[in-house]
Each structure stands twice: as structure tokens, then as C-alpha cells.
Amino acid sequence: MAVIDHDAELARAGANVRGWMGGIFFFVRRYPLGAIGAVLMAIFLATAVFADQISAFDPFTTNARISLAPPGGEHVLGADFMGRDVFARIVYGARISLAVGVGATAMGCIIGVMIGLMSGFFGGWFDLIVQRLMDIMQSLPLLVMALVMAASLGPSLTNTIIAIAIPLVPNVARIIRSNTLSLREMPFVEAARAIGMSETRIAIVHVLPNTLAPLIVLATAQLGSAILVESALAFLGLGVPEPHPSWGRMLSESAAEYVRTAPWLVIFPGVAISAVVFGTNLFGDAIRDILDPRQRL
Amino acid sequence: MVETATPALATPKRETPAREMPIEAPALGAPVLEVRGLSKHFPVRKGILRRTVGHVYAVDGVSFTIGAGETLGLVGESGCGKTTVGRTVMRLIEPTAGTIHLDGHDVTRLGKGEFRPYRRQLQIIFQDPFSSLNPRKRAGDIVGEPLKIHEALSRGERRERVAALFERVGLRRAQMDNFPHQFSGGQRQRIGVARALALNPKLIIGDEPVSALDVSIQAQVINLLMDLQRDMRLSYLFISHNLAVVEHISHRIAVMYLGRIVEYTDKITLFTRPLHPYTEALLAAVPVPDPAIKRIKRVVQGDVPSPLKPPPGCRFHTRCPYAEARCKVEVPALREVEQGHHVACHLR
């Protein structure tokens, strides 16, 4: 026999959440995995912001005496073949990853939203041409696309961000366009027209805010994948150039030569990449659940 | 002929406290809205080249007038074009042919910018109270939006105006900061009414404004609309498929069938002496909430023909029990058969 405990059901649905402390507590109870993701992302952010305070060593200083020093002792995670502290490089590498992840995602989303919104809302020939362009862009694998971009633009932080952002555009544009297509037929859009609102203003004021929920979900997922693509590009020698400490480059430099003799050079950057991507994905999943329609009070 | 139909039409009034009905249509001076020969044909496009392969004859030569403080009910089955009439008058869609005069001014061919000042006089209430309000905007902002566009008010002034509108339609001022999903269906429709009222329009088009509501709530919203009409001398174009509701609120009624008006007269005449066979059938189809009353069934056979290929001659001839040979060939004109009673039928 099933007994429904109403208070428990209400508590589960978040009916008695009060204040931001209560909100956080509720989030942790309801989405434990999402909370883990949030913690990982918070650590990542804090590392990037307070890199100077966290690391005792400079990530660029070479010291031949400690070349390939194993973990433990003064250099917690050891040192690479040039004698640079691995912990320091990972801590400063968080900045690069953050810049690439946030930069590429933001850039891809902003351009994608503009294209998707115009394409979906105004339709016609513009829509037709833009969509075929997006088809072409999407038919190229993301990594190949980024490779071509990185190779043609040359290796630098800005170019890496651009190279990763461009393949993102069609994904975002697609989602925004399909949402816009259904939204522009909504009676509230017609109501806005009836009171004499201009089309551009309708698109921005009434359509855009209603497309943001799926966009946030996509953006959190893309944050992780942007970091991953940067690592892959760096691994292939096309990412952020030396001497900047990119996690992917740290991996690629040491993978072939030192994986047997100095495995910590491979393990620790790998762990850092995995943890951040894992964190963003868990957090993104929780956000998707929360932003589901009618979940908000 | 339809002696039994009339009592049936009183259904929603049960929940409604009796209200003196403004029977005598106060059509004085120039009409607020005058529609002449309005047509809207939607092209049907097929293939890659998007060639026009035909037209949906949604509205085909519709004419009517609405005076100040008057309500014209527009009834008909779903798909007969009544909603298209409303949208065309609102200029939400462009008419194929015909003219629309608003307060004596021809607004049919005005550009977007030129039409803007007329928008203030012409507002619309939508059928679905759920999808007609943006779920991400606060109720107060939704109602204040027309003011934002048409009037230069400070934030505080606008808030005051919105608060007054909220109270006018029976909502509390404190509810201004709530989101649409925190309101019930009836309350949401009140928000829709408040939005339509914001600019002090002369004419409000109600596109089935109560069809999506519970019967008891329907009565409240209709009473609200009638109160507003009395206080503000509003005119309504009230579009509905519900005869009982239309009878309650309208002064005059136009019956539409497949894009054309078939009968157009004042309310009492329509319900007591309908002349068009379609109106007869429509009235006979109204359910009677009393099992003791036996009715003569006058069921119309068949379905509504496709507006893609409307039948020639009288559009109703395929289903009309009295149809003659000439009904299949000759289009009946809408004639005034007696004072203020217009019928489009060869036989009357």
C-alpha cells in the first residue's frame, strides 16, 4: 500500500525553500551530483583567479637541477624536464583553460544567438541561405574545423578561442532558430504586434528571453567541450603556444617521451582536464533539470 | 421553427447575476468600425519553387459596421473565417481586398508607421489566456507594455496607470509583480483585458475571449466586458462559436459560413426569426439543458466543404435542406429583407 507523505513530497519539490542558504541546501539535497559539479567548477574558478596566491613557484622559471623531479618534497607534483614546477603550471594553466572555455563559449553563443534569432524570426531567403551555411559548417567535424582554423590563423590564445568558437556557432544557431520558429507563432508575439511593437523589439524582448533556458544548458555543456578541444589542439601542437602552461600542451609534450619514466607529467594535467570537464557536465545536467519548464516557483 | 431553441441559450446566465442588457443598439453618428467587402485569400504554395497552386478562401467579401458602444457578435463554426476577420481588422494580416474604416478614416492601406496612431483605438483579446501572455514577464509589465510604446510616462506614472487598470479588471495591485503562471485562467484573461484597455481603445476585438475558460469564469469575464462597455462606451467585435455567450453580450449578430456572412441582424430577431437555413440549423443544434424538452431535430448533413474549393453559388447549398437548382449556380447577395435584417439566401 502506497502512502503519500505530503510534507515530504512538498519538501522534495522545494516548496519550503527560504533564502539563498536554503536554496543552496536544497540544491545539494536534490542534485548531489550537480553539487559535486558546482564544487569542482568553484575550485577551478578559484584556482584561476587566485593562481598567484596558490602557487609558491613561478610557472615559467626553469631550473635544470630539478629536471624531472618526482612528486613530493618541495615540488608537490614534481617538475617537468625543463625543471618547471608542475603544480604551478597546472594552477596557472587553469587561467588558460578558463579563458578558452568561457571565451570560446561566450563568443560562439553570442554569434550563434544573433544568427539563430534573425534566421528564425525573419525567415525567408535570409533563413534559407544561413541554414545552408550552417549545414556546411556542421558537416565538418568540430576538431577538424578547429584544426583548420588554428592552422590558418596561427597559434595564439585569441586565435585558439576563435578557432573553438566558430564550430560552436551552428549548434547554437540551430537551437535558437528552432525555438524561435515555435515562439514567433505564439499569441503573445501577436499580442505584442497588436500593441504596435516593432519586429526587432519583439524579437529581443519577447522571443529571446524564452530561448535562453536551452541555451544555458548548451553553454555549460560546451564549456567543458571547449576546454577539451583546446587540450586536443594543444596536443596536436596547434593550441596556446609555449611557454604558456596549457594543460593539453603539458600532456602532449610529455606523453610520448616521459610516460614511462616520469608518469606524473602525464597524470596530473590529465586529472585536471578530466575534473573540470566532469564538473561542468555534472553542473550542466543539474541546470538542465532546474530550467525545465514549470520547475521554477 | 426554432421555438425550442431560445430557452436553451440561457445556460451561462445561471451563474451570472442578472444584468440589465443594453438592448437598444446605440448606433449614432459615424460607426467606429466599417468593413466593406473584406477578403483574405491565403495562397497555398507547393514544391521547391513555392508556386501558388491555389487559395484558401478564408474570408470572402465580408461587410459590417460597429457603432460606438455597440457589440457585434460574429458566430460560425470553426474554420469559417471569423478569426481571420478579427486579425485582418487588427492588420495583423493584410487583407486581399476590401476596405476597413476606423472612425471614418480608411486604414486599409496605411503603412506600419501610419497605422500606429490607430492601433491605440483598436485592441484585441486573445482566446488562449495561457499562451497570450509571455511567461517570462511580470503581469504588471505585460499590461504596461502598450503604455511603454505609445506614451512617454515615467516609471512611477506608468506603474500607477497599470495599478489602476489592475483594479479596473478586478485584480489586486499587489499581483502586479507576479508571473503569469501564478494566476488562474480567469485571472490571466483579466490581465489580457487590462492590456487591451491600457490605451483607452474605442474598439476591442474579442477573439473567442472566453472559450478557453470554465463556464462560471466565462460569466465573470463577460460581465466584466459588459461593465467596461457601459462605463467606457467601448465597442466590441465579439468572435465566438458559442451562441449562448454571443446572445448574452451582443447587440447585433453576424453569422458566418465558409468565409461569408449569411445572416446579419439584431440579436432578438436572429434568435426568434432566423431566416437563413444555416442559422436555423445552428440554433437548432444548441443543446437544451432540460431532458423534458423534446426538440425537432434539424440536423445539417455532411461536413463543411473545404475553403480551398468552396462550392459555387451559395456556399451552403451542399448541406442545405431547401437547396434549389439556382443555389448551385448563383451567389446569393446579402439583401436587407426587412428593416436591419440582412440575409444571403435566394429563398427568403
- pLDDT 10s digits, A196-231: 888 899 999 899 888 887 888 788 878 888 888 888
- Pair B117, B146 in one domain: no
Cβ pair B134:A193 closer than 8 A: no
- Pair B323, B186 in one domain: no
pLDDT band (50, 70, 90) for residue B294: low
Contacts of A206 in chain B (CB under 8 A): 134, 137
- Pair B170, B195 in one domain: yes
pLDDT of residue A215: 85
| pLDDT tens readout for residues B154-176 | 999 999 999 999 999 999 999 99
**Is B77 among the domain residues?**
yes
Percentage, residues of chain B above pLDDT 90: 36
- Pair B112, B134 in one domain: no
Selected residue with higher pLDDT from A243 and A177: A177
| pLDDT tens readout for residues B24-82 | 444 455 789 999 999 999 888 877 777 788 888 889 889 999 998 899 999 988 888 88
Number of domains in chain B: 2
Taking residues B324-334, report their average pLDDT.
88
B183: left (phi over 0), alpha (psi -120 to 50) or beta: beta
- Pair B100, B242 in one domain: yes
Cβ pair B126:A190 closer than 8 A: yes
Selected residue with higher pLDDT from A144 and B138: B138
pLDDT of residue A132: 92
pLDDT of residue A11: 64
Domain housing B255: 1-9+29-121+203-214+229-348
pLDDT of residue A5: 67
What is d(CA B335, CA B66) in angstroms, rounded to the nearest whole number?
18
| pLDDT tens readout for residues A175-205 | 999 999 988 888 999 999 888 888 899 999 8
pLDDT of residue B19: 47
Mean pLDDT of chain A: 82
- Pair B207, B338 in one domain: yes
- Pair B117, B241 in one domain: yes
**What are the grid coordinates assigned to A153, written together?**
590563423
Query: Is the pLDDT reported for residue A14 higher than 70?
Result: no
- Pair B74, B145 in one domain: no
| pLDDT tens readout for residues A21-43 | 777 787 788 888 888 988 998 88
Closest partner CB to B145 (pick from A190, A195, A210): A195
Shortest CA distance from A196: residue in chain B = B116
**Is B18 among the domain residues?**
no
Q: Are B166 and B173 in contact (CB under 8 A)?
A: yes
Q: What is the dihedral of CA B176, B178, B179, B180, to 10 degrees?
A: -70
Distance from CA of A101 to the nearest CA of B (A): 29
Contacts of A15 in chain B (CB under 8 A): none
Alpha-helix runs per DSSP H in chain A: 6-13, 19-30, 32-49, 51-54, 86-122, 124-139, 142-153, 157-183, 187-194, 199-202, 208-235, 247-258, 264-290
- Pair B244, B95 in one domain: yes
DSSP summary character for residue B305: P
pLDDT of residue A295: 47
What is d(CA B282, CA B291) in angstroms, rounded to the nearest whole number?
20
The gap from C-alpha B24 to its chain's centroid, in whole angstroms, comes to 20
Amino acid at B84: T
Shortest CA distance from B192: residue in chain A = A191
Closest partner CB to B136 (pick from A192, A194, A209): A209
Closest partner CB to A188 (pick from B119, B124, B133): B133
**Is B19 among the domain residues?**
no
pLDDT band (50, 70, 90) for residue A9: low
Strands B235-240 vs B252-257: parallel, antiparallel or unpaired: unpaired
Domain boundaries, chain A: 1-30, 42-290
Residue pointed to by grid coordinates 575534473: A275
Shortest CA distance from A207: residue in chain B = B134
The answer to whether the peptide bond before residue A243 is cis (omega within 30 degrees of 0) is yes
What is d(CA B217, CA B212) in angstroms, rounded to the nearest whole number?
10
Shortest CA distance from A209: residue in chain B = B136
pTM to 2 decimals?
0.78
| pLDDT tens readout for residues A245-286 | 888 888 877 777 777 778 888 888 889 888 998 998 888 888
**Is B22 among the domain residues?**
no
CATH of the domain at B87: 3.40.50.300
Contacts of A294 in chain B (CB under 8 A): 181
Closest partner CB to B136 (pick from A190, A191, A210): A210
- Pair B275, B320 in one domain: yes
CATH of domain A42-290: 1.10.3720.10
